[in-house]
Structure 1
Amino acid sequence: MLHRSGFTGTVGTVFGLLALLLWGAQGATGAPVTRTAAAPASPHAAADDTCAVRAPGASPTAERAVAAACAQVAADVWYTWGGGHGPQPGPTYGMVDPSDPASEHDPQRLGFDCSGLVRHAYAEATGSDILNGVADAQYYTHRAAGRFTAAQGLDPLVPGDLLVWGTPQHIHHIALYLGAGRMAEARQSGTKLMVSDVRLGNGYYGAVRIDPGPVAGPVFRTWGAGVWTKARPSTAAARVYAFPGPTTIRVECQKHAETVTAEGWTNDAWSYLPDYGAWVTNIYIQGPAWLDDVPTCTT
């Protein structure tokens, strides 16, 4: 026997369902709902976990660099401290990082650290080892086509740009931008290469765009270790960055300024390095005291 209370509840449920269906068909305002087809996916769209070029604007070289890095992500390669810094680009066994207990297995893991992955990606893209060095050297590369500050955010960036974290004195992490706020990175010991959200703030310093073509401006080699560049052509000026060892630099111009005596030499010539936004005494640049084919600074 069906009790009245059960019948009433059943009828109420039926009418309630009908009301919901009618409301859904017309929308909250009573107007008919128009169903539209979903917009076609962008050719650069990708699932959140997919490593790929995710935005337009990159050069063919930058897109090849992203593809090379993403191939390593897809291969489930390990982060390993010091990995990727062998005689040739490519994965290598790592080392123990004395400051990171998670690195204890890195000597048994074939992989990359952050700059090793960047080195490999651009070597694959260009056929030449153009970014051989740690994160500092890669950010301050003389092959920069453009530089972007943290304050500019991600809007001016395109896939293949290199994102960095740290300070002018020490860049401690580097990653490849994919577009749409995502990046490919070798992050830390105990993890695999990964796709991550770009971590703005938290030490984000800016980005650099790589130009694999001919370098604009005179290029020289430095010598010495721990050589500081300065905010002005003076030994009393603020320190900007110290070369850990000999490196390649691009010189924009030179001028006579404070006389410096160091390493048994005395010179008043200073060179402006556009990639560092800083000056260095010519004493530490290989060549004559006044560099050949370098113009005099006019400002």
Structure 2
Amino acid sequence: MPRRSGLIGALVALFVLLLGASANATAHTARSAAAADCRVLAPGASAAAESAVAAACEQVAAGVWYSWGGGHGPQPGASYGQVDPTDPASEHDPERRGFDCSGLVRYAYARAAGSDILNGPADTQYYTHRAAERLTAGQGLAPLLPGDLLAWGTSSHLHHIAIYLGAGKMVEAKQSGTKLMVSDVRLDGDYHGALRVNTGPVTGHVFQTWGTGVWTKAAPSVSAARVYAFPGPTTIRVACQKHAETVTSDGYTNDAWSYLPDYQAWMTNIYIKGAAWLEAVPTCTF
């Protein structure tokens, strides 16, 4: 009887060992498949954009977790997250070293540019003054290039951001309880649009806005169509300024408006930090 028990125990141990090996092999195969899918899938991107894709895909291949708040430490890179009070699935995020959506974008473009050019949440990244081009949701996939940033939400609150790979695919840190992944681009729902990042020198006159929910306009008038809303203080490029409709808001009155080329929109100078008439900025001729 002792011999039979010993044999059964050995068989059970062997079964557990084989089961563990099989599970590890399955996980390795899944990671390998994900890594193979995560790459530049279309031509036309800049070398920097391709480097950003490669940096994000390295993290996919490594099996890195989504972690709410992850990637927002003093330096770009994976970090332990925190519990999202609105998401029960995030209970283990403080134990998981990883990225949330904007943390992954920050890391990828820091690797590509050699400096921390996209530090902040999705809103801040989308409204960066480093926009080489902005693409609307209505334009769909056709104009997108690998490395473009895709955003979801509203103009005044963007809640998700991802990196386009090409061929209708993107790499993203999607949600708690999952690892970084390659997904089909979701053009339905609240897809807001895309951004092509300029990783080179920034030219023009750079200023900082203040206030929350400040709208830019299609013309220098409060009655003009709304274009974009800055959810909070935002770094902007100003091409020129002109005297137009007088605006009174938040205790200030000013008739100066600035043209923001990255948004093809106007903004009252009231919400741009600096003098009422911005120093060194030329007068618009249009």
Letter of the 2:106 counterpart: R
After TM superposition, the score normalised by the length of structure 1 is: 0.77
Question: Quick check: 1:140–1:276 contact (8 Å CA) kept in 2?
Answer: no
Letter of the 1:212 counterpart: T
Greater per-residue helix proportion: 2
Aligned match of 1:114: 101
Rounded Cα–Cα distance in structure 2 between residues aligned with 1:260 and 1:58: 42
Kindly provide the CA deviation profile for residues 88-118 of structure 1, in whole angstroms up to 9, marking residues without a partner as x.
2111222222222212222222111111100
Letter of the 2:68 counterpart: W
After TM superposition, the score normalised by the length of structure 2 is: 0.81
Unaligned residue ranges in structure 2 (runs of 5+): 1-32
Aligned match of 2:205: 218
Letter of the 1:75 counterpart: A
Kindly provide the CA deviation profile for residues 19-59 of structure 1, in whole angstroms up to 9, marking residues without a partner as x.
xxxxxxxxxxxxxxxxxxxxxxxxxxx98952111222111
Kindly provide the CA deviation profile for residues 158-204 of structure 1, in whole angstroms up to 9, marking residues without a partner as x.
21111122232222211111112211100111111001111122222
Out of 26, 45, 64, the residue aligned to residue 58 of structure 1 is 45
Aligned match of 2:68: 81
Question: Quick check: 2:215–2:230 contact (8 Å CA) kept in 1?
Answer: yes
- Secondary structure of the residue aligned to 1:124 is helix
How many residue pairs end up in the alignment?
A: 254
Aligned match of 1:23: none
Offset at 1:233? 2.8
Offset at 1:284? 2.0
Rounded Cα–Cα distance in structure 2 between residues aligned with 1:156 and 1:83: 31
Aligned match of 1:68: 55
Does residue 290 of the first structure (1) align with residue 277 of the second (2)? yes
Give percent identity, aligned residues only: 76
Letter of the 1:145 counterpart: A
Offset at 1:234? 3.2
Aligned match of 2:23: none
Question: Quick check: 1:169–1:240 contact (8 Å CA) kept in 2?
Answer: no
Cα RMSD, aligned residues only: 2.2
Aligned match of 2:3: none
Rounded Cα–Cα distance in structure 1 between residues aligned with 2:170 and 2:146: 9
Alpha-carbon spacing, 1:244–1:150, altered in 2? closer, same or farther (3 Å): closer
Greater than 6 Å deviation, 4+ residue runs: none
- Secondary structure of the residue aligned to 2:279 is coil
Alpha-carbon spacing, 1:242–1:123, altered in 2? closer, same or farther (3 Å): same
Offset at 1:248? 0.9
Unaligned residue ranges in structure 1 (runs of 5+): 1-45
Aligned match of 2:267: 280
Rounded Cα–Cα distance in structure 1 between residues aligned with 2:73 and 2:188: 32
Larger Rg: 1
- Secondary structure of the residue aligned to 1:54 is coil
Aligned match of 2:5: none
Alpha-carbon spacing, 1:69–1:290, altered in 2? closer, same or farther (3 Å): same
Does residue 256 of the first structure (1) align with residue 243 of the second (2)? yes
- Secondary structure of the residue aligned to 1:70 is helix
Aligned match of 1:163: 150
Offset at 1:77? 0.9
Offset at 1:267? 1.5
Offset at 1:219? 0.9
Question: Quick check: 2:242–2:258 contact (8 Å CA) kept in 1?
Answer: yes
